[in-house]
Structures are given as C-alpha cells and as structure tokens.
A and B are shown apart, each in its own frame.
Chain A
Amino acid sequence: MSADEQLTPHALTHLTRGTQVALITLLVGALCLVLEPLVPWLVIWPAEWVLPATDWVGAGLKWFLEGIKPVARLFSELMRYPMNWANAALGATPWPIVIGLVTALGWYIGGLPMAALGFLGLSFVLSSGYWPQSMNTLALVAVSVPLALILGGAIGILANEVPRVKSVVQAVLDVMQTVPTFAYLTPLLLLFGFGPVVGLIASAIYAAPPMARNVMLGLERVEPEIKEAAIMSGGTRFQQLFQVEIPSATTQIMIGVNQCLMAALSMVIIAAVIGGFNDIGWEVLLTMRKAQFGEALLAGMVIVVFAVIIDRMSGALATERKRHDRRVVWALVAFGVVFTALFWSSLPNASEFTLMDPVAGAVDSGLTAFTQANGPWLDALKNNSMFYVLLPLRIGLDQAVLPFTWGFAWTPAMSYGLFAAGAVIAALMAWRGHATGGLMVLIGIGMLETGIANLPWPFVLSGTAALGWVAGGRKLALMSVILLSTILVSGLWERALLSLYLSGAAVFACAVVGGAIGLLSAVSETAWKIVRPICDMLQTIPLFVFLIPVLMVFQIGEFSAFLAICAYAVVPMIRYTRHGLVNTPDEMMEAAISSGATEWQILRDIRAPYAAPTILLGLNQTILYAFAMLVIAALIGTTGLGQSIYLALGQADVGLGISAGAAMAILALIADRMVQGFAEERRQALGL
C-alpha cells in the first residue's frame, strides 16, 4: 500500500479495522482541538450538565443502609463476642506459649524450616515491642478468616450446585476484584459505626471472594470420572460432594485458604485507617503521621513477618502432603508451657521489650544522615521525574513547559512544529506499511501535547470505543463507552482522568521495567535466582507497607505514590514475562535450533510471539494491581478518584465513596476486559 492510495476515500474501506478506528479517533481528537476556542464544552464537560448522581447514590444508599442498620448492629453486637474471646485468648496467653504453639504448628506443617520461620519471626515480633498490637491484629484475622472461609466456601459450593447461579456469582466476583479496598469501608462505617467490627466485616467481605473462586475452580476441575465413580458407588449428592468432590479438590481449596488469609490480613491492616483499635496497622499510620520513620519501618516489618509466616505456612499446607512427627509438636508446646511456668514471676511483659528500639532509632538517624548526604541527587531525581515526565503527561507540554523548569515557554508555534514532525513520521511509517503505527504516533503526540488530564472527552470516548472494538468487538466497545459515560455525567470525570494518568504512567513504567527484568530472568538463571525471592516478598507484603519506605525517602507527594504503585504492580509483569518466555514448547525450540537460529533470533522470532498472550495477561494483572494500590497511595498524596474515596471515608460520605469506588472499578474493568480481549486474540492467532 502506498501513502497516497490510503488518502483516497475509496481506499478507506480497504484499511484494516485497527487503521480505520485509529483514523477516526485521530480525527475526533483533532476536531476537538481545533474547535476548542469555539465550543469549549467539547473539551471540558460543563458543570451544568453534571447529574448529581453522587448525591442520588448517597441518598439511596443511606436510605437502604438505614433500613438494614438494626440487623447490622445486632450482627455487630454478636461479632463482639468472638472478637473479645479471640482478643482475650491471644492477649492473655503468655508469649512463650504463643511462640511455642506457632513453632509447633510450623514443625507439623513443614518440618524444620517452617518451625524456624515461626520461631524466629515471632521472636522478632516480641523483641520489637509490638507484641500486644500484633496480637490484636491477629485476633481480628482469627475471627474474620473463619467468617470469610465459610462465606466463600458456601458461595463456591452454591455456584457449583446451581448452574444458573454460577455465571452471576462469577460476574459479581469479577466486579468485587476491581472495587478498591477503601470503597468497602465507607458504607460499612455507616452500618456498623466506628470500631474494630468494621475492619472485621470488611476483611471478611474482602477475603471471601478468593475462597469462593478457588472452591468453584477446584470443584470444577475434579476429574469427571471421579465424579462419575462417586455416583456409580451409589452416593447421594451430599455424599458425593462432601466425601469425594471436596476432598479431591483439596489442593485448590487450600490455595483459596492461603489467598483468603492474605487478603484478610491485608484488609485488617488497611482498615486501621478507621482507627479505634490498637492494632499494628494503626501503629504504622500513627508513626508515619508523626514522621517517626524508624518506628514505622519496624511496625511495617512486623506486618511483613506476619504476612510471610501466614503465607508460607498456609502455602505449605496446600502443596505438601507430608506431616511431621507429632511428638516434636507436643515437645515444643510443652516447652513453651514449662518455660512459662518456670519463669512465671520473672516473665517480662511482652510490651516491655525494647530490643529493637535502638534499631529504630538508628534507622531514624541513619535516614536523616542518608537524606542529608544524598539530598541533592534524590531531590534531583524526584524533581526531574516530576517536571520532565509526570507533569507533562498530566497537563500536557503546553502547560508543563515553563521557563522556570524547562528554561523556555511553550508557544503555539512549538505545538505546530511538534504536530508537523508527527505528521511526517506518521506519513513515513504509513509509506513503509505501518499505517496503524503511524496514526498511533500522531495520537500519542497529540496526547502528550494536551496532557491526559486535559483530554477532550469525545476523544477519550471514541478512543475507548476504538480500542474496545479492536479488542473484543462491538459489545465490548459499547459496554466501555456506556460505563465511561456514566463517569462523565456524574461529575467524576476529571478525577477519573487524573487516576488514569497516574496509573497509566505507573503501568507503563512497570511494563518497561518489569518486561526488561522478566526478559533478563528468562535468559539468565542466575538473575532469576535473585529476582524470584524479591518477587515472592513483594507479593506477600500487605499493600500498606509499601508506603513506608517511599515516604521515608521522598516524602509525601505524587512521586512517592507513583513509586509505591510501581513497586507493587511490577511483580506480575516480571513473572508473566519470564513464564511466557521460558515455557516455549521444547519441540519449537529444537526446530528453531536445528534451523540454525541464534539465541537472539530464537528469542525474537519464536519465544516472544509465543509468550505474547501470557505477557498480556501479566500486563492485565499489573493494571489491576496498579488500580488497587492507587487508592492506598491516596494516603501519601495522590489526586483523583483514590483521594475522593479516602476523603469520603473521613467524612463518612457514602455517596462519594461508592461513586468514586464504582468509577475506579469501571476503569479497572474496562482495562481488564480490553487486555483480556487482546490476549485472547493473540492466543487464537497462535492456535492455543
């Protein structure tokens, strides 16, 4: 195809789908830019047109919540009992016995390594002086997890038994996955009032879906012949389910239990922002607010230790069948009891341990010294990233380029020059046969000039429709546009764009960095040996803890939020990239090698295309992770929807909280469906 051929209307019908929609999007965007002076509403949705949807949602929800409040309060009264028991039990049990029990449990599940993990981990907690707070957190988890397990298990089984319910449950779980954590809290706050019960319920609700998912998946994956054998043995449906199918699905269900535990812990800690409970999450928040970073880091480490212990032990429960000698278990417990009895009078109170205080102090002073010593270049890093990357992305070159930062002012002439350069590049690319790519370059330049937060809404809608259409056909395009329009008319548009900008920037950074690390790990086994434990660690750490180190070094602000998001969201990208690249079928590799391809050629021509669908799935996860973290990062300074959700929590504004939460969920859902669509298309193209 040559360039001039494409410009004739006749050729338009011959263009590929992608080129067509890219062209339309480009035209819409250009039109908006040109018409902006004449019809300003093309760019910024006028305030008069905004429906007070947030208020409606708020009023409706309030009415509904007030209706079920008595039931909720009753439930909350009831929950107080097990919570108090758990609290009393964990709080009153002398620490040597708790340590003995956890060590014994570790031994029973996973032998010496797990026992050591339990012992050393809890010893660290003890020496940190955060023992009582940790036990409070643990008490919350201990009550919320059984609730979540029962709830999730029941939902999973119900979905398995009643096929009609299944698709509904699946859809609800999909949506719940995208609703940000903070958004749960506001309505719960209204229902249950301030106090630890909110955290408890929120964590049960948040932790139930992974359980339900895995129960469903596990039951679905039981071999058909095993199910048939149970039927032919003459079992009733009840016997089939509980004696054969559920036990056969144990491995998958235990994975559910593991995820459920981790989710519950994560949520309990996040729920600390409500306050009212002297738990470890609260401790982190408090010390962070007081800028006592040493203490915050120490409390964060305690959380990490718990997360690692819970994750590794429940993980071992899922993967290892072997159970270890019970005699050692009893010996360990007995040792704890005897130790307690012997030193009863001289047993120090767990909160009096201060072994780690010097460390915290050292960290604090070390940090001060570090920031003082490295202040200039840290500041330079932060400022350069802000001024030359993040800010232009957000508000566009035309506003971000100022004499104060860039050394010159942006003029319209520069805009024209930029567009002209873009047009030349696009034309060149089209001439070389990459018409779609050329158009994308032009669109990208337009976006850079305007800034994501200032994009005209018709352009965003048509761009979304275009992407949706290419990724998943008419249905996806329609769904995306309708959902986005609800954000537009409900007045959350600007905040949504701000969220889109920050998460977009973070996802882009993650894709580049994570992709590169994944590639490196795929090529070099040594690199993977180093990267893997780091990834494992990053995935175990509760979201909240990511804030501490970035805050320590870069203070409150958008750049810190950006870093926190990246640190959390980069992991799936690394994992999936490596996994996709490494798992090329041997036969294909052998065929390539025997064709005389070099390492690099194999990577480019065989492995990369084969890995593409997997890598896209990794990108999908990265996007979801980024959205999840975006809301948490509101704690340390982001604008946009995350901030709204956080503010709504503080003001108990259900309407805003839920609407902003829904808007986040919509963005995440659209992104998720589109990337899945592209991945599916790639998979089909490869015949997988």
Chain B
Amino acid sequence: MTEANTPAIACRKLWQVFGDGAEKALTDALARSGNDADKAADLLRDAGMIPAVQDANFEVHDGELFVIMGLSGSGKSTLIRCISQLLSGTGGEIRIDGEDVRGASKKRLTALRRQKLGMVFQHFGLFPHMTVTENVAYPLRVQGISRAERTERAREVISLVGLEGREDSFPRQLSGGQRQRVGIARSLAVNPDIWFLDEPFSALDPLIRRQLQDEFLNIQATLKKSIVFITHDIAEALKLADRIAIMRDGKIVQIGTPTEIVLHPVDDYVREFSKDVAKGQHAIVSSVMREGETQFGPDDPGLQTGMTLDAALAKCMNLYEPVPVRDSSGEVVGIVHPSDLAAALQVDEA
C-alpha cells in the first residue's frame, strides 16, 4: 500500500456494456447525450446493447467492508468482475491501490492476482479433480511454489476456515457450507489485500448462512482486508457492511452506511429493500413520531427520539394510548401511538 489516503479501490465513470462494438457505441452515446449517463444508457438500450454497469463512481477504503446490493440482474456480478478484471470494462477507470488496472497488461494482471487479489464465487467454483488441499494450494502452485511449502500454507488457511480433517476430500464429498469454506480458504491462500466475494452465502441454507456470516466477520476482524462483498439480501448487507452501495438496472442509486440506507432511502426502490429488514434494530423512534402533537395518555414509558423501534416497543407492550417522546434534553417533542410502532415493525415480518 502506498500513501494512507490512497483508496484500495477507486472506480470512476466505470461502464460495462455488452453487445457488438460496445466501446464505440458507448463513446457515441456519451457524446450524443452530452455525458449524461442516464440518457446514454437509454440510447445504448435502444441500440440493442446491454449497459450492465452504468457510470459507477465509488471508492473502497483500506480495511473497509464495502457491500454492493441489488436485485438479481442489476449488474452486481458484472461490476465486481470489472474490478477484478475478469471483464475488461467498456469505459472509465478502475484503480487498485492507485494503479490503473484497466490499462494493465495481461502479465501485470496475472501478477496482481498472484499478489493481492482473492475472489470467492457464488457457486464456489471449486476444481472438481483436486482435493481440498490441492484446491486451496492452487493459487500458490501456479506461482511455482514448492509442494511442501504450499501444502503448509494451505493447511494454515484450511484451519482458519475450520475445515481440519477434510484436507484430502474432494469437493463432491463436501456439503455446500464446507465447499464455500474451501472457496474462502483458496481465495485467502496468497494472503491478498483485496478480497472479492460475489454472493458467497446465497447458495446456502439460512442456518449455515448465518454461521458463515459470523465466521466471516471474525476472519475479517483479524485480517482487516479491503473487501467488496456482493449480496441481494438486505439483512446480510446491514449485518456485514461498513458501507453499502445499492444498484438498480446497472446504476448505483445510493451509497451509505447501513443506518443511512435504512433511515434515508433516496427513492422507493431502496425503501422497498429496507421494508424487508428488521427495521426495529435500525430505525429509531423519530421515524414514527408525530411531531408537535401534545395530546397523550396517562402513561409515560419514557421514550426518546434516538431509541430503536425494538426498544420502544418493548416499553409500550401493554399500552394503547399515545405516549410522549422526549429529546435528549428531556423536552417533549412529539407523541407516538403504540399501534404505529407495531405497524412499523409489522411490515418487516412480511
């Protein structure tokens, strides 16, 4: 890593367009629309192209866990594949630790992958003809590292992901959760600085998923990598992310911390997502408070504006009349109907 303020990953005006002659079409479309991304995308669509990533601009800082979220088909995989240069990108700029990778040679890319990139795939992408150890050691094998040395390193990462004892199994003999552990171990074998994960837990059962999420957080707590993590599951995003980018139809519509996303969704698309989460843990009383009203009942359970909905509801369990809400200084600033509280959480269950 160079200077402290160089972001691990920086994307500027990044486009990925699918179709014949995409590059020229993009240049034309941008020229005709006067560099307006939305108009250019429409022009491209009219020409039968697929603008899978449109004008993506964001940075991922050192040690940050950056989550990209969106419905399926919104371009998440395409975006992460541009950054990891599995797709070359059609326009714009991608810098990894300040180095422009879109212009990099094949050789340089191979070197980069050997030194500092690791990737985990939704369907694991394990090599069926190799054992767990061989899979995990493969990134070292291509560099010509001796068998003894790479096996040694492989064992380390295998125990990091808790797969001791399965070293000599083949992928087909493992469960889904175990397979993804192998995928994770393999991506960590070269001890990369930057870690790409494309929906790593989406193919797993909910219970296993939660377990792996927790272990993933533990690993990240010790390793402190710069991470791009993709998911379509808002709960997963909120649980893991330092920051979240929300994608729709190839566009990044909002970037923010989990709280920002839940409390200040920029549009209905983002709001729809947050409807599906346990808002109680992320939203606070002020979001359902009737500001300025002072007509409340005899009970005062002591609500404050900054309390989460869950906490507030716990205090109003047996109440049916409006209760007062105070700000941090103790002043009553509004009221809350307990039924509103319940209603706000009710949607979440659906």
Contact = CB atoms under 8 A, between A and B. Distances in A.
Interface of A: 223, 225-226, 228-236, 239, 243-244, 247-248, 250
Given A228-B86, A228-B121, A229-B186, A234 B126 contact: no
A234 B125 contact: no
B157 to A, nearest CB: 13
Contact of B122 (A225, A232, A247): A225
9 contacts: A223-B125, A226-B125, A226-B126, A229-B183, A234-B110, A234-B114, A235-B110, A235-B138, A250-B129
Contacts of B139: 232-234
B142 A234 contact: yes
B70 interface: no
Contacts of A230: 127, 138
A231 B110 CA distance: 8
A236 B111 CA distance: 10
A249 to B, nearest CB: 10
Interface of B: 81, 84, 86, 110-111, 113-114, 117-119, 121-130, 138-139, 141-143, 183, 186-187, 190, 196
Contacts of A244: 127, 138
A248 B143 CA distance: 20
Contacts of B128: 226, 248
Contact of B125 (A229, A236, A239, A250): A229
Contact of A232 (B117, B126, B130): B117
B125 A225 contact: yes
Contacts of A229: 119, 121, 125-127, 183, 186
A239 B110 CA distance: 12
B76 to A, nearest CB: 15
Nearest to B84: A232
Nearest to B86: A228
A205 B185 CA distance: 46
A250 B86 CA distance: 25
A232 B118 contact: yes
A230 B113 CA distance: 10
A244 to B, nearest CB: 6
Contacts of B127: 226, 229-230, 244, 247-248
Which secondary structure dominates where chain A touches chain B? helix
Contacts of A234: 110-111, 113-114, 139, 142-143, 190
Contacts of B130: 247
Nearest to B124: A225
B119 A236 contact: no
A232 B86 contact: yes
B82 to A, nearest CB: 13
A312 B135 CA distance: 32
Contacts of B138: 230, 233, 235, 243-244
Given A225-B121, A225-B123, 5 more contacts: A229-B126, A232-B117, A235-B110, A235-B138, A244-B127
Nearest to B112: A234
B84 A233 contact: no
Closest 5 CB pairs of A and B: A225-B125, A234-B114, A229-B125, A234-B113, A233-B139
Contacts of B122: 225
B125 A228 contact: yes
Contacts of B187: 232
A222 B113 CA distance: 21
A235 B121 contact: no
A231 B186 CA distance: 13
A6 B123 CA distance: 59
A225 B186 CA distance: 14
